[in-house]
Amino acid sequence: MMKKLFICLFLTGAIAASLVGAQNFLDNDHQKAGREFEKQATASMEAGDYDKAAQLADMASAEYRLSREYADTQSLKFKAANAITLAQQAIDLTVNTARAKAVPKQMAEAKSLLKQAKDLYAAEKWADSRDKAMKSLDIINALADVNTTPAANADGVTLPLYYVVVRRPANTDCFWNIAKMPEIYNNPHQWSRLYQANKTKLRNPENPNLIHPGTILEIPALSGEKREGTYDPAKHYQNLSE
């Protein structure tokens, strides 16, 4: 019986440890119940009631498994909702541009995929919903990849390759604000290019709206313009429209 108890407590602890560091979805009723059962199991073991301790340890382990399942489901739901938001924002920002009007079929496909994503979300099919939304976003990002601005290094001008995110009282750094800087892309609609190139550097890669000060972003070239070094606000750069 003691062997069973130790095995159960070990499994319970392993499950709890594997959940550490996940999002706030882990702070759920199952997790709280698991902690309480584990506490009671420890007390029963110390009191010498090993059968009860083993039973409580099993109950704790079951609650931790339910907690993991709940957290995984909520995480998928969050990712689906975020992907839908990103796709909707991208479509809203692109739909009236010259690029979008030149490729109506692609825009129609992006809108159709987004609608499917929303329908799947309503049906609680989170993974499929996120997949459709990301495909919609990929289409819009491909449109943004079409360069409509001339590169500015025909005469050897060099633009920055890296940008260090800073915090400001107003108009603080975000992918939109950074992309519209003359020295970066001079076009806020190119924000998704920056995001896609740097999403692995974010604390939450699913959320482009949250970038932390000190993050070093790499700036991919739009059309072969020369880029090197880190952006220096005290330095004058020729922007992409000059």
SS3 of the chain: CHHHHHHHHHHHHHHHHHHCCCCHHHCCHHHHHHHHHHHHHHHHHHCCCHHHHHHHHHHHHHHHHHHHHHHHHHHHHHHHHHHHHHHHHHHHHHCCCHHHHHCHHHHHHHHHHHHHHHHHHHCCCHHHHHHHHHHHHHHHHHHHCCCCCCCCCCCCCCECCEEECCCCCCCCCCHHHHHCCCCCCCCHHHHHHHHHHHHHHCCCCCCCCCCCCCCEEECCCCCCCCECCECCCCCCCCCCCC
- Pick from 3-17, 19-33, 88-102, 165-179 the range whose average pLDDT is largest: 165-179
Q: What is the pLDDT of residue 114?
A: 95
* Residue 240: closest CA among 190, 182, 192, 188: 182
pTM beyond 0.85: the answer is: no
Question: Facing residues of 162 across strands?
Answer: 218, 230
Q: Is 139 exposed, middle or buried (CB count within 10 Å of its CB: 0-12, 13-18, 19+)? A: buried
Write the pLDDT tens digit of every residue in 58-94.
Answer: 999 999 999 989 988 888 898 899 889 888 888 887 8
Please report, in angstroms and rounded to a whole number, the separation of the first and last CA atoms in the chain: 79
Write the pLDDT tens digit of every residue in 42-57.
Answer: 999 999 999 999 999 9
Write the pLDDT tens digit of every residue in 122-146.
Answer: 999 999 999 999 899 888 877 765 5
Q: CB neighbours (10 Å) of residue 46?
A: 9
Q: What is the pLDDT of residue 242?
A: 46
Measured between alpha carbons, how far is residue 220 from residues 1, 111, 183 in Å? Answer: 62, 27, 12
Residue 240 pLDDT > 80: no
Please, what is the average pLDDT of the chain? 81
Residue 164 pLDDT > 90: yes
